[in-house]
Every structure is written in structure tokens, then in C-alpha cells.
Amino acid sequence: MLRTDASNAAVAASIQLTSNSSAQAASSARTLSRWRGLETWHLLSLDAPSVAAVWTWFIGQAMGVGLPRVEVAAMFVAVWILYAADRLLDARALDSGRNPEHIALEARHLFHHGHRNGFRWGIASGCAVLVALLTRFPLAELRLDVMLGGLLLGWLLAVHVGARALPKEFAVGIFFAAATALPTLARAPWLGRELSFPAVLFAALCSLNCLFISAWEQDAGACNQAHRLTRIAASRARWLGLLLAAGAAAAMPFDGAGVRPLLAAIALAALLLLAVDALRERLGRTTLRALADLVLLTPLLLIGMR
């Protein structure tokens, strides 16, 4: 369904569109072959769903709430549908007849546009799978999911019609934190107070991830229409990363046993984001973006910590 030769062409085209010089393009091409598996994970929009599913499971495990696998699977499918659809919508500009050099698109958009029929079928199939999974949810939790999903869809609609909306870098953090904590809180609402602080820090971590990506794209000279608040925060992303890591680590001795693994994972992920940022001159933007999501999978390194 997704042809290898077409995907290579899409990635190569994105490098040509966004590089400032032939030297940068050559460097990006060398990086592509070295990190092909990781970049494919990103280009297929599997990165954000992986992060959402892992953190949904991890929050439940840390707080002693066993979540059914069907809920983790539903989280993965729902986030994949949203991200794939969002990238397809972003890439509609390529069908408008405008000069691609003036369109602020990245490799992920070009890849989705090049394989748009495959992704459309995937989204349609994913919706059917998601509906089947949701029928196995408790009614109370399903209501909360529908409310959160409605808010998210409303925000996405506002973004794509050009209305004023919360910058995506901050909206992503809020929605990710709310969505990943919701399954645990639906089963154990009394944990709300205990989970509130790590949820805020996780929202900050997800936003930090987006801010670093925005900063890398600005540094590379890509067309960028970022919100003014995003540009200001992105220019201070390193300091924000240090502050987040220090805050999460400092809070660990004062919180309950269930919260400590969450704080440890957040602190470690923030430090790893800083490490990825230190490599920004040596790696292409597609690789950097994929690594920025990969380092958010720190819960997999802390399994069993209490």
C-alpha cells in the first residue's frame, strides 16, 4: 500500500524544499539512511500514538490501577487517526497550485500527501476499529472520552479554518496529559489530587517536545508561521527543559510512591530532550523530530519502579 520508492521520493523532496543550501541537503540525505527505521516510524505517524499508549499504561501501572489492554489499544488508534488526519489536512496546500517553496511543510506532510489514499483507507479502517474498541469501555469513561474528544476536534477545526486558537505547542501538552490520565482517573477518581502535579508536568513535557521541534525548524530557516508566544517559548526551550527536569526531580522525595515513577520518567525525558537538542547541528530535522518523540518513551526504562 505504501511504496518504498514513493516514500523515498517524498522524503527527498522535503529535504530539498526546506534546506538552505546543497550542503544541508546532502547532510540530511546521509542522516536519512542512517536513521531510516526511526524516521519511518515518524513518517507513518506512529510516534505520537506510541507515546500516548505507553504513558496511558504507565500512569495506570504507577498508580496501582490495572487498565485493560483494550483501552491502551484504543488510545493508540485514536491518536494515530488524529495525527494522520491532521497531517493530511496540513498537506492540502500542495493541491492548491501554490509554489511549494512557500508552503511551510515538512517531510511528514509530504509523505502523507504522497500516500494520501493509503492513509485515507487507514483512517477509515482505524475509525471502525476504534468504534469496536469503544463499545467495550465503561459508560462513565466513555462519556468523559467523548467530551475530551469533542474539545479536541473543536480545537483542530478552529486551527484548520484559520480561527484564533491556543497555539498547538501548548494545546498538545494539555490534551495529551488529559487523555493519558483520564482512563486511570475514570477508574480511581480519588487519585485526582495526587495525579494533578505530575499531570501538569507531563503536559509541560509534551509542550517542551513541541517547542524544541519548533526551535529546530526555525533554526533551519524553514517557512514558519508559529504563534508569537510559541516563538518566545521556543527560544527559551533549553532553560525550560532544565527547569522541568529539576522541578520533577526535586519533587520526588515529597510525593507518594505511585507518583515517583511518573516524576522520574518526566525528568529523564526532559534531560534526553536536551541531549537531542545538543545534536541539532549534526542531524536532519526529520531525525530530530523522531528522536524528540522517542525520548518520551522513558516509562519503558522505568518498568517496575515504585
> Is pLDDT of 162 > 90?
no
pLDDT of res. 222? 53
pLDDT of res. 219? 63
> Is pLDDT of 6 > 50?
no
> Is pLDDT of 122 > 80?
yes
The residue that leads in pLDDT, 34 or 119, is 119
Give me the mean pLDDT over the 171-175 stretch: 89
Residues 6+ apart with CB under 8 A from 292: 209, 212, 213, 273, 276
Q: What is the pTM of this model?
A: 0.81
**pLDDT tens-digit series, residues 274-298:** 999 999 888 888 899 999 999 999 9
**pLDDT tens-digit series, residues 242-266:** 999 999 999 988 777 678 999 999 9
> Is pLDDT of 28 > 70?
no
Least confident span in 9-18, 89-98, 154-163: 9-18
> Is pLDDT of 173 > 70?
yes
The residue that leads in pLDDT, 104 or 8, is 104
pLDDT of res. 291? 94
Angstrom distance (rounded) from CA 121 to CA 141 = 28
pLDDT of res. 16? 45
**pLDDT tens-digit series, residues 203-248:** 999 999 999 988 887 765 554 566 677 778 778 889 999 999 999 9
> Is pLDDT of 101 > 80?
no
pLDDT of res. 86? 87
pLDDT of res. 23? 42
- The mean predicted confidence, pLDDT, of the chain is 81
> Is pLDDT of 4 > 50?
no
**pLDDT tens-digit series, residues 43-100:** 999 999 999 999 999 999 999 998 999 999 999 999 999 999 988 888 887 776 554 5
pLDDT of res. 18? 41
Grid cell 505504501 is found at 2
pLDDT of res. 305? 57
